[in-house]
Structure 1
């Protein structure tokens, strides 16, 4: 089978229930978080800053900053108004919050005249002291919708933002701190959109620490079949001081860039539009991984993973695009103590040929880690979770409708654990920040900040089998039910097969803790002959198959997004009796719900509290039956 055929088969899976591995197993709603913050009005931009030490979270919205500490809001301060046009009087859109040296730097639009505040938030009251204000040019965009990013490394502030209100002169610059200011050479980039920047720490070799920049830019290939955008990764040396007066003075001398590839090899199916990245840092920088989220021209999205060591190897060993002569020593892009003393030939190659000939490929050469054609993803975070078995990576992907997909990565394959809604109605995710130590994901929406608890083990608490089938690395079955106490709990993350629950080693839940999401006590209905009637039970797993069992017969159900339905067009004598809604997943069979149907003249169950009156049931049966037929 060719790769194209495989892709078309893969694409068709989104329309087939049989491809259950491509849909979330559970659909959940979480709107009960005590940390949820409802804004006074909807916003179009939010920014999060997780403080050093991971105890403080700063949230920037319109005109104000919230500080959360130990799961509660401890400060809510409004920024002072600064003169400007009409926008500054009403709305100051915060675009940057960074912990810089001993202060908190807050920057924003300020009516198309970007401004920054240096703030002291160490006061004990609910306000912050403004130490000074200064121009935000090059740090914050003039309009919040314009592209920008910021990064603090040691005691230096780096940022990418347009210098002018029309969005022009967008560059990555070093703008403040202990080192001299640097900017870029204009021809190096074409209409860039900066996605993220990070530093790879090398405590044993600080002089060779590099800052990596990920972005997409306009493709120089303007042929009709070429995608107009192309994704890139670039790097600069943290110690770069710019060039001598004769060439690249106050300009990066170590800037190099390479194409970042995410594709289905052999078929020219490229995901060219980088959307977001997340870096899983390691103590050894060479073991760090870059998870990159891409979209494509055919409205599909994909996740590709890159090794930082392999990525760096391209910059160290690739030839320079358009340059065929001998490469001088030191090689362009090499970190040195004083870049102003570099040979002119080395700097000239950086100036005129900064692009690598070789491309950066993901660690999975054959295919992306994850592809979706029925969901558009906009943000990504990745958490490392230690289980009783091994360490697993969990992807957290935000959809364009605002839900969060929790996805297990195992042996280069993925399993969608759940889809969780955090706010009422579809809404775009404006920002997302992972707090791995607390196992929480902070999500910014236009009207609120919500928190996804990554350890909501109560969602799989009906039985050991339900807990194991979830394949959630955060949860395990214990004598207290499905909990986050994974060390001595029962898990089978690798396969999810729940046979482990039937072994003697599986802990039994204490009787006082026994609970069930669905009652199997029969629900009694009295239905006269000739009337239509339908049975309904909730779908607790989209990976399970459901059926109705009646008089040793198995009847298929009509599945909706949340229910399994079965229509009896006209009740007759054979239709009376017990109906069990049964789910089957892997090797686990569960009775979800039981109905007991009687005729008006038949003996009735003594549990009269569960009965409906004949008159009400006739009306209910006619109404719901007709609704079912219509749909």
Structure 2
């Protein structure tokens, strides 16, 4: 009965004046445009098929670029027909090939990003290239050309001619690699050390050693893999092997047609190229993680990591990178990414590019809900940079917690400096304080991790709860009229459900904020 409500699964800024919203609508998905100023409906509703899943439990991702909507979801009630779909805008509607296990095998879509001339989709699926008896889940990245016009009337008509996919390699190196195969979350593209990078959270399968890892991927390396060799299976009984270079037609399958090329539209590609793309969507090589090892590693823990947000301008001068990781039970882990972490060309020691800062609980039974596995399940994690806080969505409530707990080190210079927390600083008055951007007070930090052994030991430490404030919890019913509308956008896309109907009074309040 609860599943028959309308769960918002897509909430995007369409242009300067419109929001685009899609909901499950009691297993009959529908989409609509809303005014950015008044949140009043604009125009008629449109079908949500291939834009929004039927079931709120089904994963989906979406983004707008160039007036076109790119979505990855399922098109049917049973979630059998998975699709990457382009609609709206001036270009023709396109989709992936239907019911072809070489293209998709039970995918779970995690994130999508736009980079240069492509849209990239991150997901996990059952691998078809391994001849194992049991199902093996692997993580992938796929891409399509933004200007793809589809194939000819004979091959790939109204379907992608540029769809290719590759495996993501997040593993601990050694004689026998230990793989983290289940991708859980991906950031937008970040600029780290001048490189376009995404950070992704991976975990082990449920029947494996419990563990989680964070790997970094350079988008230039991701793109390079799609210029490499293809992989094929010549018969249903044969193993998958690389395609010899002399067997790959020209121009290269999967490329973006453009004016000035021999073929200025994908619909003009010869059938040989289109047939090759249709039967060879998988790349031979996997995308390597930066440093060929996880930046963050956690194994044998009571939880697995599920969410990630990154502050690339942490600290008073905005020159540090801090990663916040949300676990399946609401525990948050905080890490400092070391300078030049992206520059290591050889395999590094797992976890050597980061420093663990702290771990803290955010779910409070009794104030938020019951202490059950379902109610403390973390649905969304967002960074409210302006407020210096994190927002965490749970089924019964939304919690706000500060990004740092500097007060717990007050009265102890050694602990304050030794924490290496970019958000905290030691003042001449003997306090460990949260540092606002460009502070006007004198302070001392030791982010590089120099020795604090010369400092005295601490006595009478001050501990302070960080969610005991009256405003530490926010009712889900009040979410839409809070001052954190940006969080709603990120949260609903990651699976956090928000009621479709917004009262007129609430609309005015949200519009003002």
TM-score per shorter chain, which class?
0.7 to 0.9
Q: Is residue 215 of structure 1 aligned with residue 123 of structure 2?
A: yes
Residue aligning to 2:280: 353
- Answering whether residue 377 of structure 2 is matched by residue 423 of structure 1, we say no
**Is the contact made by 1:333 and 1:350 (CA closer than 8 Å) also made in structure 2?**
yes
Deviations 1:219-243 (A, max 9, x none): 223525x662111111111111111
Unaligned runs of at least 5 residues, structure 2: 234-242, 259-264, 342-351, 366-370, 462-513
1:274 CA drift (Å): 1.0
- 5 Å-filtered alignment, 1:319-334, equals 319-322=230-233, 323-324=243-244, 325-334=246-255
The one-character-per-residue Cα deviations of 1:173-218 (angstroms, maximum 9, x if unpaired) are 1122232211001321111111111111x4xxxxxx2111111111
Q: Secondary structure at the match of 1:458?
A: helix
Number of residues paired by the alignment? Answer: 410
Q: What is the alpha-carbon distance in structure 1 between the residues aligned to residue 75 and residue 93 of structure 2? A: 15
Q: Deviations over 1:109-152 (max 9, x none)?
A: 111111222111312xxx63453212111122111011222112
Between the aligned partners of 1:328 and 1:470, the Cα distance in structure 2 is 57
Q: 2:117 matched to 1:182?
A: no
Q: Deviations over 1:449-481 (max 9, x none)?
A: 222332553343334333212211122223464
Where do 1:114-193 residues align within 5 Å?
Answer: 114-123=29-38, 128-186=40-98, 187=100, 188-193=103-108
Q: CA deviation at 1:485?
A: 4.2
Offset, 1:385: 2.8
Q: Secondary structure at the match of 1:383?
A: strand
Aligned twin of 1:542: none
Q: 1:229–1:400: structure 2 CA closer, same or farther, 3 Å change rule? A: same
Gaps (5+ residues) in structure 1?
1-85, 203-208, 503-586, 594-631
Match of 2:151, SS state, is coil
TM-score normalised to structure 2 length: 0.73
Distance 1:435 1:414, change over 3 A: same
- After superposition, the Cα gap between the structure-2 partners of 1:215 and 1:471, relative to the gap in structure 1 and judged at 3 Å, is same
SS at match of 2:417: helix
Q: For 1:45-444, what aligned pairs fall within 5 Å after superposition? A: 91-101=5-15, 102-123=17-38, 128-186=40-98, 187=100, 188-200=103-115, 202=116, 209-220=117-128, 221=130, 223-224=132-133, 228-265=136-173, 266-282=175-191, 287-296=195-204, 297-322=208-233, 323-324=243-244, 325-337=246-258, 338-366=265-293, 369-374=296-301, 375-387=303-315, 391-410=319-338, 412-425=352-365, 427-436=376-385, 438-444=387-393
> Is the contact between residue 170 and residue 181 of structure 2 (CA under 8 Å) also seen in structure 1?
yes
Task: Report which structure shows greater RCO (CA 8 Å, sep ≥6).
Answer: 2
The question of 1:447 aligning with 2:396 is answered: yes
Q: After superposition, what is the alpha-carbon deviation per residue over 1:323-369, rounded to whole angstroms, capped at 9, x for unaligned? A: 33433332122222221122332222211111111111111225553
1:20-31 alignment to 2 at 5 Å? none
Q: How does 1:31-42 map to 2 (within 5 A)?
A: none
Report the alpha carbon displacement of residue 438 of structure 1 after superposing the two structures with TM.
Answer: 4.8
- State the distance in 1 between where 2:363 and 2:172 align: 35
Task: Mark the CA change 1:386 to 1:107 in structure 2 (over 3 Å): closer, same or farther.
Answer: closer
What RMSD over aligned residues (CA atoms) do the two structures have, in Å?
A: 2.7
> Which 10-residue stretch deviates more, 406-415 or 142-151?
406-415
Aligned match of 1:473: 422
Assess, with a 3 A threshold, how the Cα gap between structure 1 residues 129 and 389 changes in structure 2: closer, same or farther.
Answer: closer
Find the aligned partners of 1:458 and 1:131 in 2 and give their Cα distance.
51
- Aligned-partner SS, 1:348: helix
Q: Is the contact made by 2:382 and 2:392 (CA closer than 8 Å) also made in structure 1?
A: yes
| Aligned CA distance change for structure 1 residues 336 and 460 (closer, same or farther; 3 Å) | farther
Tell me the TM-score normalised to structure 1 length: 0.60
Could you say which structure has the larger radius of gyration? 1
TM-aligned CA distance change 1:492 to 1:228, over 3 Å: same
Contact 2:151 2:160 survives alignment (8 Å): yes
Distance in 1 of aligned mates of 2:294 and 2:32: 46
How far is the alpha carbon of 1:436 from its aligned partner?
Answer: 4.0
Q: How much does 1:388 deviate?
A: 7.2
The one-character-per-residue Cα deviations of 1:492-524 (angstroms, maximum 9, x if unpaired) are: 11216336xx8xxxxxxxxxxxxxxxxxxxxxx
CA distance in 2, matches of 1:385, 1:459: 23
